[in-house]
Each structure stands twice: as structure tokens, then as C-alpha cells.
């Protein structure tokens, strides 16, 4: 929960202290706890597919109160597999999924990448303040690990297909010179099932934030979410609440699986 910031602002986040509650359409309420500034959670909640849910937010100063529309529960189907194809520039990571009941149709993905790589040179020696001595195993610093949380909006839809089957839906492209695939790469993929309204919101948000800048791109549009200030209709709220279980899958890609011509470019942040 945060306030928007100007594009010219140095700050990228403006968290809000608030009381946050999940409410069902039959009167059940679940209080969320603040795990970090602006981040509110509730562990191990099980949503009833027969009910609808909404989010209720009251700011700490009691000046603003927000509610989302009630939304149906849409649980994401399992991720069937994650793979990759070779491209002229590197690899394209993709996902496969399906719903036998043809009831998902709209998908969103995010992910966490983690990779192992190494420095350009190996340092086998270290100064103990007096002499140069051989590094102990605990002092070895040749290999490095790094993680990255996705920041782009990844969507997929089967709405125009007869079967609810995602085949090789593109997730992320990695260049052949990237440190990510130098030694071993892993991606933890999360899959969300969306309603048509939620998909439209995320699609508009993607166009507004990632597909602007050229004369051929669409003009920015006002984002219409499903969260409202119940006391002030003129208060614009950017966001969309969805409900449902998330599917997860992790895969590893080792350098041995890739062409020998793939070569990282140094230096790195290692």
C-alpha cells in the first residue's frame, strides 16, 4: 500500500501505514499484519471458491478509507513445464500450462531469478597483514551468486483459442553474453489466474509503463482499477485486487546445456 510518486522523484516507493483487512461476501474478516513498510500479509489463508472477497484499507490517520470490488476466486492451474529455446541473441525462457476445464484463459507471471557465476580471475592468495598466504576454503571468493525480482509485466491469454492451453508463453530473454547463464541459472516462476477485467487492467498498465516512447506506441490512458475511496470518488486509486492461489515452479539451466559459443562479457559486479 503506497502513494504514487512523481516520475522525477528520487524515491521509488511511498509506503502508507494502514489497517488492512480481507473481507468475504458472507461477512468473514481477516486482519493482515504489516511485515514491512507498506507491505501487509496474512499467512496460510484458505479462500473459499464459493465466496467472493474484497480488500478494505483504512489509513493510519483515518483520513482515507478504500474498498475494492468483491472478486471471485480464480486459482491458477499448475505450471506444466518451463523450458528455453535458442535465439540469435541467446535464449528465450518459456512456460507451458493448461486448464482442462477451459476456465482460466487469462494468465500473469512474475519470477525470481538466481544465478551462479564467477569473477574474471581467481584469487588464491590473501594478505594476513604480515605475509601473503593461501586462502582457506572459507576465504574463497571466485564464485558469486546474485538474485533479481522481475519488474516487467508478463501476460498471456488463451481467450481466442478453442482450448485453454499455453504453449511456450515467453517469460524472459537472456543474452548469450549474460553472466546469468555463465555457470548455472535458476528461475522460480509464479503463475496467476486473472479475470478478463484484471487482464485488461494489467495490459493497460503494461502499455502505460513499458510500451511508450515511439511515435507508433499507444498514448497513455487513465488506469481504471477496482479499488475505490468510499468517501471521495475523485480520489484516483491505481491498482487491481485479484483473489486465488498461485502456482509455482523452479527450473535450473546449466552452462553444459547451452552452446559452447555462449561467452559472458566481463567485468561483472563480482
Tens digits of per-residue pLDDT, 143-169?
Answer: 989 999 999 999 999 999 999 999 999
Under 8 Å between Cβ of 116 and 160: no
pLDDT in tens, 222-256: 788 999 999 999 999 999 999 999 999 999 999 99
What pLDDT shows up at residue 100? Answer: 96
What is the per-residue burial (b if ≥16 Cβ within 10 Å, else e) of 216-252? eeeeeeebebbbbeeeeeeeebeebbbbbeebebebe
Residues in the chain predicted with pLDDT less than 70, given as ranges, are 211-220, 267-270
Among residues 157, 168, 227, which one has the least CA distance to residue 196? 157
Q: CA 97 from chain center: how many Å?
A: 17
Residue at grid coordinates 588464491: 124
Q: Which three cell numbers stand for residue 131?
A: 605475509
Which pLDDT does position 44 carry in this prediction? 85
Cβ(28)–Cβ(43) under 8 Å?
no
Which residues, 6+ apart, have CB-to-CB distance to 166 below 8 Å? 95, 96, 97, 98, 107, 156, 158
Cell reading at 215:
511515435
* pTM score of the predicted model: 0.88
pLDDT of residue 90: 97
pLDDT given for residue 264 in this prediction:
86
Biggest CA pair distance of the chain:
74
Residue 119: its pLDDT value, please? 86
Distance CA 128, CA 108 (A): 52
Amino acid at each position: 500500500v503506497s502513494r504514487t510518486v512523481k516520475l522525477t522523484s528520487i524515491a521509488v516507493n511511498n509506503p502508507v501505514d494502514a489497517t488492512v483487512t480481507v473481507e468475504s461476501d458472507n461477512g468473514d474478516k481477516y486482519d493482515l499484519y504489516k511485515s514491512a513498510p507498506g507491505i501487509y500479509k496474512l499467512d496460510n489463508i484458505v479462500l473459499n471458491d464459493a465466496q467472493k472477497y474484497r480488500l478494505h484499507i483504512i489509513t493510519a490517520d483515518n483520513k482515507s478509507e478504500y474498498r475494492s470490488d468483491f472478486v471471485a476466486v480464480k486459482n491458477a492451474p499448475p505450471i506444466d513445464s518451463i523450458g528455453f529455446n535458442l535465439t540469435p541473441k541467446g535464449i528465450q525462457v518459456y512456460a507451458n500450462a493448461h486448464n482442462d476445464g477451459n476456465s482460466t484463459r487469462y494468465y500473469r507471471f512474475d519470477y525470481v531469478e538466481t544465478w551462479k557465476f564467477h569473477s574474471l580471475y581467481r584469487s588464491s592468495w590473501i594478505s594476513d597483514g604480515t605475509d601473503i598466504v593461501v586462502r582457506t576454503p572459507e576465504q574463497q571468493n571466485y564464485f558469486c551468486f546474485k538474485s533479481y525480482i522481475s519488474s516487467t509485466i508478463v501476460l498471456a491469454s488463451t481467450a481466442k483459442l478453442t482450448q485453454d492451453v499455453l504453449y511456450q508463453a515467453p517469460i524472459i530473454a537472456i543474452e548469450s553474453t549474460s553472466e546469468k547463464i555463465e555457470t548455472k541459472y535458476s528461475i522460480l516462476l509464479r503463475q496467476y489466474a486473472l479475470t478478463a477485467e484484471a487482464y485488461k487492467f494489467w495490459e493497460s498498465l503494461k502499455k502505460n509503463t513499458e510500451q511508450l516512447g515511439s511515435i507508433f506506441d499507444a498514448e497513455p490512458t487513465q488506469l481504471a482499477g477496482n479499488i475505490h475511496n468510499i468517501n471521495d470518488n475523485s480520489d484516483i486509486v491505481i491498482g487491481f485486487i485479484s483473489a486465488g492461489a498461485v502456482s509455482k515452479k523452479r527450473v535450473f539451466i546449466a552452462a553444459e546445456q547451452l552452446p559452447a559459443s555462449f561467452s559472458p562479457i566481463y567485468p561483472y559486479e563480482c
